[in-house]
Structure 1
Amino acid sequence: MLNRRSALFRPSDQAPGGAEEAPSYRFLELLAVSARDLLQADDLAPALDRIFGLIRSEVELDVFFHYAFDGNGLDLDAWAGITPEQVADWSHVPIGIAICGGVAESLTPMIARDIQQSDDPRLAYAKGMGLDACFCTPLLHNNVLLGTLAFGRRARASFTDAEIQFLQTLASYVTLAKHRIGVDQELRARLQERDRMLAERVTIERQMLELTRASALGSIAATVAHELNQPLSAAANYMAAIRLSPGSDARLCDLTAAAEQQLQRAGEIIRRIRRMVRQNDLVLENRSVATSIEEALNLVQAAAPRLLPPVTIEVAPEANLARFDNVQIVQVLANLLRNAGEACQRYEDAVVRVTAERQDPEEVTIRVIDNGPGVPAEQRHLLFQPGLGKGGSDTGGGLGLGLAISHHLIEGHGGRIWAEQTPGGGATFAFTIPAARQTEAAPPA
């Protein structure tokens, strides 16, 4: 016979050979309705409220508690039949405390009966609520504790075997629903994060596309201005010579003077275009060089997952802070990394290194180094002119705007960009950006 002072036992503690009541047809109906509700639920607490309302009179229940396990203790997640004061007092239950905490600790169902006649400290809370019987079970999925579910009554001091079987089966349905809802919520959160990252990527790509277009226009305008400046100046000089030559009549002098003015005007228009497109909206601030390199690497890998060989990043501690526009420098790095990947595609042992060092107190030097076919020395000075080379270790094909744009962006920072000889073969592209100002705040994350 059970000790009435404890009044607490597990279902397995019942005497063997006792007659078990078969669950009634009504219990089966209630389980079917509850399963359907739980299957469709997006939130467990409202579903438990509905189910408790459905079974309350049928099983003569007065209260229920659903505690969620947070890794350290139990947090009250759904309940009925208790006062707001009781909710506040028992909103969190440590493992091992009271019947629900004990069930969470032992991971086995527990039944308390004749609670009002018991002095077991674990039943003090249930006793204070006026309960006569309570059934509590852990919610386990693949041996992982998700929480506990308890039902209590005041009208009767015990539960029948059929009622225990019904409540235990219902708890198993709740366990599956809780796990499914948790998986669904995590999936939705990950999908939302994916959508956020995709939207952010689209925004960055659009910004970089706009920047590329503006930079390409600036590079082309600079090249056109440079290439046309000499022939325009020469034509103006020829016109001046004709105008000033002996024997020129007034009519010829007027025409040549007018032509000379138009040539000078054409030169000034080109110079104005060049100045205009160089008015970039630079956002210069102290930033982490390593972070921007990683951002450029992620950008290239997202656009062309199989393009790059293994990439190593070596940033000297004293070179990690520089003053630059992150969007523009990420674009420069992405251009150089993309060129390096294209150059190394046919090389099985291809590797790319990105280094940053402080060779000068006023600037940081960044290099993108590959072990591809390299760039002939006689072509290096042509690489940064639009249309004269694709860049990287491969100078064939393409419009050749990538390096011209990079040259334009680095110039806007007051830096330099160049190709240099690579020990052991391959191509090295280096550029400089201003060192960080020590008086400014830490770099953005």
Structure 2
Amino acid sequence: MTKAGGDAEEQNDASGSADSTTAESWRQWENFARAQQLGQIGWWRLDVTRNVLTWSAENYRIFGQPIGAPQTYETFLETVHPDDRAYVHERWTAALHGEPYDIEHRVLVDGREKWVREKACLEFDATGALLGGFGVTQDISERKHAEIALQWGVRRNELLTRIAARLLQSSDVQGVVEELCAEVMQFLDCQAFFNYLVDEEGGCLRLNACAGIPEDRAREIEWLDYGVAICGTVARDRERIVADNISVGADPRTAIVASCGIKAYCCHPLIAQGRLMGTLSFGAKTRPAFTDAEIEVMQAVSQLVSMAMARLRMEQALLEADRRKDEFIATLAHELRNPLAPIRTGLLVLKRTGGQGPNAVRVQEMMERQVDHIVRLVDDLLEVSRIRSGKIELKRERLDLRDLMDQAIEASQQFLDANGVSLTVVRPDEPLMIDGDPVRLVQVIANLLSNAAKYTPSGGRAEIAARRVGSQVELTVADNGVGIPTDMLPHVFDLFAQVDRTLGRAQGGLGIGLALVRKLLRLHGGLVEARSDGPGKGSTFVVRLPLALGVAQGGPQPQGSRSAPRVLIIEDDDDAVHSLSMLLRAQGANVRTAFDGKRGVEAVQDFHPEVVFIDLGLAGMDGYEAARRIRAMPEGRDTIIVALTRWGGETAREHVKKAGFDLHIAKPTSMGDIERVLDFRR
């Protein structure tokens, strides 16, 4: 019994031991399978003698196959990425001849690209015939994608570094754009690019460089208006546009690029220091879209090109300013030497004659004229300085333009007669009432008459005329003198600019008169334009000023019906200040301007404005800080503060509202915007 019992116990012990071993084996197998899954590693076993290929469950998952589905080399090859099949077959064939099999390649799983690494150990008999083998497969997609991204990032940085260096060294940025964009196209695997530049005179875009389209097509789209096609829209709105799947879309803006076979397109504005210089865009013909990383590269290239163009413009502006400075100094020396020479001679004559004799009175009169000439030169210099520093103040009153014309003609008649220039006056039949500073406006008209006398040969003719045009008055001063070259027309109102740069003219001046004319007119909400058919064909200067508010609206307004609001503009862009001032003054506003945040805050203390327009992108103290300081002042507590930005929409309004602004206006400002602000004030 004991033996039997013992035998029974031994049998039970043996049975329990076998069960335990089996359970332990299953636990180890489960752990191994779990480790395979966590490591994304599968295995396969090939038995040639039985013609059996066995895959692990993880191998099926890696290749996206149903677990247990029969596998052959051919079905495996079908899962390999088409671009990698030849390589995989080549390496497997080499492995069958004894070479190592350790490769990385792509597979397609449910249309998604994955990377795998395969490693195998094959077994051969003594004759070299294949018996079978064992191999492992690992999903390395995450590592591979990280490696590819890293390599792509290195290449991207190298590309941008080369472009930045090339642009920094170039003195012809527009000329090297085509070369640089060709390199970008190769990097991004795209087939077209377009570079448009702003044509200041034509008010449109001009194609500077392009690639990937026929020459005749490029000639057809050489000029592009703002708002037309994608590039024109980007230039108008100053915002990037990305267009995908163009070939199947219906957006009319993509018609031009679609006709060139482009399927994906991205266009960036070229902007630096708030100034639009053009657009830069890239297009792909072989794929429907660009990746976010590729668009970032395009944006970086666009920013580099923008900064290079801005740098070149600044360098050219500095060179031009330096040249004008030298010319101004030479002209100033000449202009001062001319009157000083006869003054010195007159002093010697008076000294020798003791101030007596028949010529003494004539000498004294001559010296007085020359001193007056020097005083005029100094006054012009001081006037420019006052305007540029914002220290000039207009003493406005209701004026008839006819009276201003008479006063200016009286002040200029002697100069016209001395130069032998006859003047024709065409007076308007009706009163042309304007609001302005009489001294400054007479100075404007007199400067234009003096300019006509200065640049018209003896025996020539000049004419001054005025008329009403809608809600404005238009005054013209024309002559049949030396005329203005076409390339000089945009610059005649620049400080120290002169059409005739020779120093031989007796009344050459300092190149300040016309600059003063434009600046004084802008303070009055007016403008001036120069016209000429070229050298020797005379010139015409056209001045436009807003009629007084009651006159412009067809009759006087009831007293007290609408008070003239005090409005302060804080803006560092001269053209923006000018256009906004014109709109406000057309509504009868009393306008003051400041060209930076600090001066704007100071102006609030003594001007006490009811409305303040502030550009958010001010240099130094930005618009947000200026608004905060104004709001904290007693004078600005109840002031309406309006934000001027280059971006619009509901998001923009919410953003500036949180910053403490009452209203938000997107540039460029319209008359409707002004009326909305003034209605809000009322």
Give TM-score scaled by structure 2 length: 0.31
Greater Cα radius of gyration, structure 1 or 2: 2
Tell me which of the two structures has the higher relative contact order, counting C-alpha pairs closer than 8 angstroms and 6 or more residues apart: 1
Give TM-score scaled by structure 1 length: 0.46
